Chains A and B, each alone.
Chain A
Amino acid sequence: MAGKNIIKEAVPMRKLPMNERRTTFKEVALGYNLEEALKEASRCLQCTDPPCVKACPLHIDVPGFIKLLREKKFEEALNKIKEVNDFPAITGRVCPQELLCQAACVMGKIGEPINIGRLERFLGDLEISRGIRIPSLPKSREKKVAIIGSGPAGLMAAARLRKIGYDVAIFEALHKPGGVMVYGIPEFRLPRRVLEAYIDYVKKLGVEIKVDHVVGRTVTIGELLKNYDAILIATGAGTPKFLKVPGESLNGIYSANEFLIRINLMKAYKFPDYDTPIKVGRKVVVIGGGNTAMDVARIALRLGADVTVVYRRTEREMPARREEVENAKEEGVKFMLLTQPIEFLGDERGWVRRVKCIKMRLGEPDESGRRRPIPIPGSEFEIEADTVVIAIGAEVNPLIQMTTPGLKTDRKGRIIVDSEGRTSLRRVYAAGDVTTGEGTVIEALMEALKAVQTIDKDLSEKP
């Protein structure tokens, strides 16, 4: 059929009406309905050597699932994805497909690439609406694996280890499982019902999730090794970076993590019905250009603030997904580019009132390949702000490293692993942001898959 009926334009996805977007936390991207999904799926060229599969970190058989979807074999299409990915309704939403599978899509050369992520989401949502089927489990291998952290890597590893017969317990520091998907990503990008459906699925597979357990404090890796055959550290990159400029401890200045935890996990936007408060002023300045900065900006906007994102490079270098930058703009977030904050100025009561900034220009590319921002002398100026959120990235939490003798880390505190996910300690593995510093959900899932294979291989060996 290729060649004959090429449809160059992708099927657009419906979005929530703007008035609701600006005032509620409802999901913005509404996804495809059946008709739209079938139409979009029909555009796939079914390449024999599909570049999209290679570009996908999980190597999902994209043409394979799209073909089955076209044939309305939904269950089979879904199973195709689930060979490597248990959470299609999550990755279909938060994966940067435009840089991965869709960037590689052959259709992209002659028109718009296939909206692979939206098709994946369609199938994932369909599965959740029908109720996720719990597969029958193989005979127990009588071996126990402890997973530290219930974010994307931890949940994925737990599900897959369980499906091949291991006993699995997850240790979660917070009172709710989900990691960055529950405390970090806002509801308008990832509705909680999606996450909850998958957590419920993981629990029904027989995974025990122990909340309120801060590994390193409540129990150490050394202690866990006495009771478990293997340990997978998947604690993410949970420590906020600050700018380290004067005035950063003034009231009204949040790390992105604190702002997001208060809103997403503690529901501070429903204060005083919920006990946790948050201060969102009239003028909110968000510092940073990543997805987290966009999330924070769009939340502040929904709480009625005038929001400006301050970023030290240009829009081209922003690490945020294009779609999220566009969403933020559409909703009314302002951008102040090539600008770097150098000091926070407060009032006599210790509250932030202004941000002193300096203008930047772009120099030669740095190690990240992006052009390095250079301050322009004498270009200092001040902007008004009564709330500031610093969203310039995260670092690895040092708790486990501090309390685990012999666990090797690099100078940034990231756990060093070999190409198969083994740490310097026997029977201890690591996956996700705790090894890379900062990545996407899909990268964490890919590492989890790899670690699961290694754990299975190592534990299957005769002692």
Chain B
Amino acid sequence: MYRVVEKKELAPRIKLMKILAPHIARKVKAGQFVIVRVHEKGERIPLTVVDWNRDEGTITLVFQEVGASTIKLGALDVGDHIANISGPLGNPTEIKRYGTVVCVGGGVGTACIYPVAREMKKAGNYVISIIGARTSKLLILRDEISSVSDEFHVTTDDGSEGRKGFVTDQLRDILLSARKVDLVYVVGPAIMMKVAAEVTKPFKVKTIVSLNPIMVDGTGMCGACRVIVGGQMRFACVHGPEFNAHEVDFDSLMSRLRMYIEEEKIALEKAQRCVR
């Protein structure tokens, strides 16, 4: 059992939770995730570790309440316990001095670029961050990400904050500008990552995406998270979650993400009834 020690609402339906999990805090690195099982009848869901404190033995997760499991997780309060957390899982981000690194985060994926931007900055890179959301009030972690970035850009679909448009519009402009970009790191909805890959491809800039397929065990046992990369089947949990964006079959990923759409609706309605 893992105790919740802090809880914050970053935006409507987007929550931050700090959890006591020393076995993970001592080891986790940027880019890794955990598998969370909220309660005894819960499913196992993957969530990226956004921050950690090795001395306190805590990890920080950020999640959007989109389905039954995240709603149940969000319903926990400080002092409550999560049944299981295993990890850290997946390969850490390869942190080194690339030169100029552009970190792109969309929606709740914005939280995932925070540790990567921070570590990239520490490694001596010039870090440009772009974060985006549908609308101003859904933007998260502005201060945290801007504090670890040399340049910081915001986009909203409706223009209520920063540039009106998508993060990929801003990304394209940066690639068109005089500055040479050495690495682009993107986390967000699958469709956004797909577009980002299309944007960077003509510029031949190395582009990494962190994929979010459906997972069960997260240790390479089930193959639920199989994705097609460079024409080969890969497991996001063991071989990823980060892959070369230009080799990922995003259409297959997006199709597989819809596998339980009907069940998710049933579970969501049930969860909403229970939590209220």
Residues of A within 8 A of B (CB): 173-175, 183, 211-214, 217-219, 238-240, 242, 244, 248-252, 254-255, 257-258, 261-262, 266-267, 271-277, 279, 349-350, 397-399
Contact = CB atoms under 8 A, between A and B. Distances in A.
A89 B257 CA distance: 41
Interface string B151-166: 0000000000000000
Given A173-B86, A218-B23, A273-B41, A251 B258 contact: yes
Nearest to B84: A175
B221 A239 contact: yes
A373 B88 CA distance: 43
B260 to A, nearest CB: 5
A238 B256 contact: no
Contacts of A250: 255
A252 B261 CA distance: 13
Nearest 10 CB-CB pairs, A to B?
A: A350-B255, A277-B263, A258-B222, A212-B86, A175-B84, A276-B43, A255-B223, A275-B43, A238-B221, A274-B41
A244 B233 contact: yes
10 contacts: A175-B84, A217-B219, A218-B23, A238-B219, A239-B223, A240-B223, A251-B259, A261-B217, A275-B41, A275-B72
B19 interface: no
A349 B251 CA distance: 11
Contacts of B270: 272
Interface in B44-88: 44, 68-69, 72, 83-88
B224 A258 contact: yes
A362 B24 CA distance: 52
Contacts of A276: 43-44, 216
Nearest to B27: A218
Contacts of B3: none
B272 interface: no
A251 B223 contact: no
A126 B252 CA distance: 52
A218 B267 contact: no
A350 B228 CA distance: 14
Contacts of B24: 218
B246 interface: no
A397 B37 contact: no
Interface in B1-59: 23-24, 27, 37, 41-44
A251 B258 CA distance: 9
Nearest to B271: A275
Contact of A218 (B88, B263, B266): B88
B189 interface: no
Contact of A214 (B37, B89, B226, B263): B89
Interface residues of B, number: 43
Contacts of B138: none
Given A175-B86, A248-B233, A275 B42 contact: yes
Contacts of A219: 23, 27
Given A240-B223, A244-B233, A271-B263, A174 B217 contact: yes
Contacts of B226: 242, 249
B30 to A, nearest CB: 15
A261 B42 contact: no
B86 A214 contact: yes
B220 interface: yes
B238 interface: yes
A277 B41 CA distance: 12
A225 B96 CA distance: 29
Contacts of B267: 271-272, 275, 277
Given A173-B217, A249-B226, 8 more contacts: A173-B86, A217-B27, A238-B219, A249-B228, A251-B258, A279-B259, A349-B255, A397-B220
Contacts of A275: 41-43, 68-69, 72, 267
Contact of A272 (B224, B238, B255, B263): B263
A244 B37 CA distance: 31
B41 A267 contact: yes
Contact of A249 (B44, B83, B220, B256): B256
A214 B88 CA distance: 8
A367 to B, nearest CB: 25
Contact of B87 (A174, A218, A350): A218
A238 B228 CA distance: 21
Contacts of A240: 221-223
A175 B83 contact: yes
B256 A251 contact: yes
A340 B24 CA distance: 44
A439 to B, nearest CB: 17
A141 to B, nearest CB: 27
Contact of B216 (A211, A261, A267, A271): A261
A275 B43 CA distance: 5
A256 B226 CA distance: 14
Nearest to B221: A238
A212 B68 CA distance: 22
Given A258-B224, A266-B43, A212 B260 contact: no
Contacts of A272: 68, 263, 266-267, 270
A212 B216 contact: no
Contact of B219 (A251, A267, A279, A397): A397
Contact of B221 (A257, A267, A277): A257
Contacts of A271: 263, 266-267
Most chain B CB neighbours (cut-off 10 Å) among A175, A183, A254: A175
A218 B87 CA distance: 6
Contact of A212 (B85, B220, B224, B228): B85
Contacts of B68: 272, 275
B259 A261 contact: no
Contact of B89 (A174, A217, A239, A279): A217
